[in-house]
Structure 1
C-alpha cells in the first residue's frame, strides 16, 4: 500500500452491495456525493472525497467479480468483465471498442500500461482550449502521487516477455529507440493475463487500491446498479435515478433514487455522454457525445522458425514512440503478449486445415501493435433507444496507420520473422522484408476490411474554457450544471497518442481536489 494512504483494508475481497443483497423494490438514499462508475476516475474521486469526510455512494452498472473468481481466460473474461460481453463496436462493426464493465472498470482488464501526459498535449490544450491550468508544473505532483499510490514502475528485465526480447534487437538493428514500459504492477506474477483480470491481485487496479481505500473511509459501493438519469434543480445537480438489475435474469430488481448535492460522472467516454443525453443536461454547446476518438490499433502477427512461447511476462514490455506526435507520423508501437483467443481472430489464415495449421504454430508467433493518434472525428449517440458509436478511421489517420504498419513489419523481419500476417478480413501475408513497402503501401482505407481493436475511447465531453465549444470547464465541472462533474477520459480535448490511463488518474485526482475545495 502506498505510504500516504493511511487506512486499513480487508486482506481479500471488497465490501460491495450487489443485486442479490437487495430485498426491497425501492431505495431512497442520501449522500454528500454520488459517483457514477467505479473505474479509473470514479474510484479515485470516491477515495479523495471520502477521505475529505464526505458521505460517498459509488454506483457501478457492472457486476462485482472478486479476483479469486477470475479465470485468466479471455473468452470467459469477455463474458463477465467487459462491456457488451466484449461485443461493443462502432456502427460498421470493424472496431472492437473494449471497456471494462465491472467493479473497478477498465482498470481490471487493461494491460496496466502507464504514460504521463506528454507536455506537447498539455501545451496544445492550453493554447487551443484555454486549459492553461493543466500545465506540466501543476500536473507533475498529481502524476507523482498516482505513481506512488499505484506502484507505477518500469518493467524489469525479469518481467520482459520472450517476444519483447526478440523485438528489442530488431528495433536496435534499424536504429529505433526502445522504450521500456511503465506499469501499475506490484511483484508481477508474469501470467500474461492482464486482459482477463489479475487473479493474484498484483495489478494495482482500482479493485485492489482506491476502491478499498474509499470503503475504509466510509464510501458505499453498489454494483449491478445502472444510472438512468442525472437530476438537477435549477442549474445545480441534485442526485441520480438508477435501477438495480439482477445479472442472472437481466430484469429490474429495484428502483433507486439518490439525493446528493455533488454528482461525479465517471462511467467512461461512451456511457457518460449517453447518460447526459438521456438526462437532457449539460449540452447547450451541442458537444456532448461529439469529438470521439479511440486510438484504433492493428496487430501484425509474426511467425518465427522456432518456438517463442510468448505467453508469459509483462503484457507490454516495450514501446517505440519516435513517430508518435501527429506531425512525426502519429503512431505508437507496442509489443504485446497474444493470448490464444486473440491470436485466433487477429489474422485471417483461412478455415479448416489452414486455420488449424496457423493455430498449431501459435507458439512460434509474436505480435507488435501499431496504435494511431486519431482525430476526434466520431460521435456517440443515444438514438432509437440504443447506443450508437459513429466512427470510422479517416483517410489521413489510415495513412498514419500504414506508416506504423510498415515500421512494424520492418522491425519484425529485422527480429528474425519468416512470415507476417496482417490483421485483415481478407487473407494478407508478407513473406519477406522486400515486400513490406509494396504490400502495405497498396492497402486501401476500406470499411470492415481490417480487424481494429480499441482500448482507449476518449473525448466525448471535451474539457475547455469556452462554454460554446466544450462541455466541461477547466476544473471538471460542466459549464451548464453546477456541482455536476466529469472525471473520466471523456474530458480529453484531443487524442493523446499514448495509453490514457495515467492521464485519467491524474486528472481525476486534480478534479477531486477542486471538488473538495469548492465544497469544504
Structure 2
C-alpha cells in the first residue's frame, strides 16, 4: 500500500493515477471535507510577521485558487534533468485549460486588457480551469466557488475513492517512522486525538511546502530552507459603479520581466476605500506578484521570511505600472491604496537536487515529496499546473516501478 499525505494538487493526482492502476492507496488529509462555498473558512492562521495564504481542507489550496492554469518553471526543471512537457500537456487536457469566453469578462477586466494594451504591456487572457457553462460571475473565486464551477483537487480525490483508494480526512500525520534509512509508514493523529501507526514502504509527502518541510525536519532531513512565497500586493482605487467585485478574478494577465499583473478584488482594499465612501461595486484593483528570492525558512515549526532588496524593487516597479493602469482606467488617483505584502504560493523547502532527487525521492528509501516543496525557485505565478505535472510524472515512475 502507498500512503499519500495531503489531498491538494500534488497528492490528489497521484492518488487518482495509482487507484486507476489498481494500486492500493491511502490518502490522508489533515483538514476536513467541506462544501466548496465554505473553503474560505479553512485558511490557516499565519505565523507572526508574515501574511501567508494557504488552507487545510480536502483539496488543499486549490479550493481557493482563482482557477489560473499557467505553465511555470518548465525550462528550469528541464535543466535539472526533470522534463515535464508531456505531463503538462496531459494536465492541460485533464483540466480543460482554456481562455474564458467574452461573456465572462466584466467592465473591470475589459478595462485592464484595453489600457494594458494601450501601454504596450501585451496583456493576454489568463488560461483558466473554470467551466464557462457552470460559472455565473460572482467574484468569489478565492473564497471557494459557490457553484463548483472550477476544477479543484477534490475532483481527483473523488475519482481515487471511486477506484478503491482509502481516504482519511480530519487526520494529521505527526511522524514518519524510519528504520535503516527506509520509510516504515506514518503515525497519524485522528480528530479524537487518538494516535495510530499505518505501515507502508512507500510514502509520498504532498502536504504543502510548510507542512512537508516541518515533517521532513522532524525526521532529520535538511529541509525547510530556501523558502519562497511568491509575494504580492493588491492596489486599488475608486471607480464608481465598475462592478468589478462580481467579476471572474484574474481573467487577464500582464507578464512582465520582473512581475505579473492581474485584475484582482481584495477585501482589504475594499475595507480601506469604504472609509472614503466607496461601495464594493465602486472598487477596481490590480494584483502585483513577483518571483521572490528564497530568503525564508522554517524554524521550530514556524515560518520566517525576509525580503531582499530585489524583491522590494520588483514590487515597487510592478506597483507603479499597476497604478498607471488604474489611473488611465479612470480611477481617482487620490483614492489609491494598497494591501500589505502577502504570500500565496510557498515552496522550495525540499528542492530538487538538494532534498529530493529527479524522481522526487529523499535520501530515505521509499519516501517521496511531490508538492511545491520541490520547486527549485519562485515561479512568481500560480504553480498548480507544474505541481500536477510533477506528480503525474511521479505516478508514472511508481507504476512502472511497482509493475
TM-score range, shorter chain: over 0.9
State whether residues 81 and 109 of structure 1, in contact with CA within 8 Å, keep that contact through their aligned partners in structure 2. Answer: no
State whether residues 73 and 386 of structure 2, in contact with CA within 8 Å, keep that contact through their aligned partners in structure 1. Answer: no
Q: Deviations over 1:288-334 (max 9, x none)?
A: 00010011101111212x3101122321110101x23xxxxx21111
Q: Does 1:42 align with 2:3?
A: no
Q: Report the equivalent of 2:115.
A: 170
In structure 1, how many angstroms separate the alpha carbons of the residues matched to 2:212 and 2:91?
23
In structure 2, how many angstroms separate the alpha carbons of the residues matched to 1:344 and 1:101?
26
Q: What aligned pairs does 1:316-327 form with structure 2 within 5 A after superposition?
A: 316-321=250-255, 323-324=256-257
Q: Does 1:418 align with 2:332?
A: yes
How far apart are 1:409 and its partner, in Å? 0.8
Q: Report the equivalent of 1:262.
A: 202
Q: Report the equivalent of 2:145.
A: 198
Q: What aligned pairs does 1:143-154 form with structure 2 within 5 A after superposition?
A: 143-154=88-99
Distance 1:229 1:108, change over 3 A: same
State whether residues 161 and 317 of structure 1, in contact with CA within 8 Å, keep that contact through their aligned partners in structure 2. Answer: no
How far apart are 1:453 and its partner, in Å? 2.0
How far apart are 1:344 and its partner, in Å? 4.1
Q: What aligned pairs does 1:490-505 form with structure 2 within 5 A after superposition?
A: 490-505=373-388
Q: What aligned pairs does 1:105-116 form with structure 2 within 5 A after superposition?
A: 105-116=60-71
Q: Report the equivalent of 2:262.
A: 334
Pick one of 271, 275, 287 that aligns with 1:369. Answer: 287
In structure 1, how many angstroms separate the alpha carbons of the residues matched to 2:160 and 2:52?
29
Q: CA RMSD in A?
A: 1.7
Q: Deviations over 1:254-305 (max 9, x none)?
A: 222111111000000000010111233xx2xx3x00010011101111212x
Q: Does 1:160 align with 2:100?
A: no
> Alignment partner of 1:97: what SS?
coil
Q: Does 1:314 align with 2:248?
A: yes
Pick one of 246, 249, 269 that aligns with 1:343. Answer: 269
Unaligned runs of 5+ in 1: 1-31, 72-76, 247-251, 325-329, 350-354, 425-450, 465-469
Q: Report the equivalent of 1:22.
A: none
Distance 1:151 1:55, change over 3 A: same
State whether residues 264 and 285 of structure 2, in contact with CA within 8 Å, keep that contact through their aligned partners in structure 1. Answer: yes
How far apart are 1:120 and its partner, in Å? 4.4
How far apart are 1:119 and its partner, in Å? 4.5
Q: Deviations over 1:154-187 (max 9, x none)?
A: 1221111321111112112211101110111113
Pick one of 468, 471, 489 that aligns with 2:355. Answer: 471
Distance 1:183 1:388, change over 3 A: same
In structure 1, how many angstroms separate the alpha carbons of the residues matched to 2:73 and 2:2?
32
Unaligned runs of 5+ in 2: none
State whether residues 151 and 204 of structure 1, in contact with CA within 8 Å, keep that contact through their aligned partners in structure 2. Answer: no
Q: What aligned pairs does 1:127-142 form with structure 2 within 5 A after superposition?
A: 131-134=80-83, 139-142=84-87
* TM-score, normalised by the number of residues in structure 1: 0.74
Q: Does 1:235 align with 2:184?
A: no
In structure 1, how many angstroms separate the alpha carbons of the residues matched to 2:170 and 2:74?
39
How far apart are 1:133 and its partner, in Å? 3.2
Q: Report the equivalent of 1:400.
A: 314
Structure whose CA Rg is larger:
1
Q: Deviations over 1:420-477 (max 9, x none)?
A: 42326xxxxxxxxxxxxxxxxxxxxxxxxxx12221111100111xxxxx00001111
Q: Report the equivalent of 2:42.
A: 81
Q: What aligned pairs does 1:31-110 form with structure 2 within 5 A after superposition?
A: 32-67=1-36, 70-71=37-38, 77-78=39-40, 80-83=41-44, 87-89=45-47, 91-92=48-49, 95-110=50-65
Q: Report the equivalent of 2:368.
A: 485
How far apart are 1:114 and its partner, in Å? 1.2
In structure 2, how many angstroms separate the alpha carbons of the residues matched to 1:182 and 1:298?
21
What number of residue pairs does the alignment pair up?
A: 400
* TM-score, normalised by the number of residues in structure 2: 0.95
Q: Deviations over 1:326-377 (max 9, x none)?
A: xxxx211111234xx44345x4x6xxxxx5434x333211111110111111
In structure 1, how many angstroms separate the alpha carbons of the residues matched to 2:349 and 2:375?
8
Q: Deviations over 1:394-414 (max 9, x none)?
A: 111101111111111111112
In structure 2, how many angstroms separate the alpha carbons of the residues matched to 1:303 and 1:515?
53
In structure 1, how many angstroms separate the alpha carbons of the residues matched to 2:5 and 2:106?
37
State whether residues 463 and 471 of structure 1, in contact with CA within 8 Å, keep that contact through their aligned partners in structure 2. Answer: yes
> Alignment partner of 1:132: what SS?
coil
Between stretches 39-48 and 114-123, larger displacement belongs to 114-123
In structure 2, how many angstroms separate the alpha carbons of the residues matched to 1:118 and 1:485?
20
Q: Report the equivalent of 2:128.
A: 183
